[in-house]
Amino acid sequence: MTPCLSLRGKRLALVRPLLMGVVNVTPDSFSDGGRYLDADSAIRHAARLVEEGADLLDIGAESSRPGADALPAEEEMRRLLPVLRSCGALGVPLSVDTYKPEIMRLAVEHGAAMLNDIWAFRRPGAQAAAIAAARAGVVLSIMHMQRDPASMQERPEYADVVAEVRDFLAARVSELQAQGVSREQMVIDPGFGFGKTVTHNLALLRDLRALSLIGVPILAGLSRKSTIGAITGRASPDQRVHGSVAAALIAAQNGATILRVHDVAATRDALRVWAAVSGSQSADAS
Ligand code: HH2
């Protein structure tokens, strides 16, 4: 049987990698902070990503970059809601990138089909909100992070990064499954750049298949991250498109089924070339 994700009743077959376009309604995201802070420009950006071939959108109103200021929930709501409401008309499932339970509940009320929590639903109240959301058919994106956004990049250390990330994600999946969340409603994410050095990120990318054993689709987010900058020598995130496309392609070849990217058109072209060579389904086929 073809594996699929069930997003509030809409089933997306995982026969090819899905493209998740990033919409940051923030002044300070590392990748594109301030470019889409007002609702209108965020909505225009979201529409462009869908035109370019995004299968789903991930809308975030608070930056998770190291050292980012924590945002009060009221301000997160103020940024998020108009964008979420308008993007509902774009015809693709919407994910909301948040760790706050009150924002999770609000997102679900306003039609979100996925909750993407960099804390893997470990903050107070988040697991209960996530379980309630899953009952409404929402998919939960479970990410690994070492420590917290403020301190995660201060000398992260692992005995075996791949084993530690795999064991953490497996434990979170088991816990949520024990609470009644079905496997079709979860995705896992190694959390590239979240408490990881370049070497850690490369080890995870190389051995991404080790996470497949958990039996839940893998989401990979390498787009424009500092590891790409370190490898390519590109200091500015918006110069990291080509490196990011290469990383997304490798992630897909190593088993990722959802690619969280800022540059949808460029990534889609790379997937098309891969599909044409391998004879697998193209990034366009549904
Ligand atoms: N990366 C970022 C934010 N959210 N969520 C998941 N599941 N996986 C990721 O790798 C991930 C994520 C960071 O990227 P960006 O949204 O561009 O930056 P910022 O957090 O500064 O807004």
Of the residues 79, 225, 240, 268, only one is catalytic, namely 225
- Which phi and psi (to 5°) does residue 96 adopt? -120, 125
Instruction: Please say if 225 is a catalytic residue.
Output: yes
In tens digits, the chain (286 residues) has pLDDT values of 678 888 998 888 899 999 999 999 998 888 787 888 889 999 999 999 999 999 999 999 999 887 777 899 999 999 999 999 999 999 999 999 999 999 999 999 999 999 999 999 999 999 999 999 999 999 999 999 998 887 777 888 899 999 999 999 999 999 999 999 999 999 999 999 999 999 999 999 999 999 999 999 999 999 999 999 999 999 999 999 999 999 999 999 999 999 999 999 999 999 999 999 998 655 554 4
Q: Are 150 and 195 in contact (CB under 8 A)?
A: no
Cβ atoms 64, 31 nearer than 8 A = no
CA nearest ligand 1 atom 17, residue? 31
The answer to whether the CB of 89 falls within 8 A of the CB of 110 is: no
The response to whether residue 60 sits with its C-beta less than 6 Å from ligand 1 reads yes
260 lines ligand 1 (CB under 6 A): yes
Residue 260 designated active-site? yes
* Residue-by-residue DSSP string for 87-154: HGGGSS-EEEE---HHHHHHHHHTT-SEEEETTTT-STTHHHHHHHHHHTT-EEEEE--SS-TTTTTS
Q: Is the pTM of this model over 0.75?
A: yes
CA of 1 to the centre of ligand 1 (A): 31
CA–CA gap between residue 258 and residue 63 (Å, rounded): 21
Ligand 1, from 223, 228, 260, 261: best to mutate by most atoms within 8 Å of Cβ?
A: 260
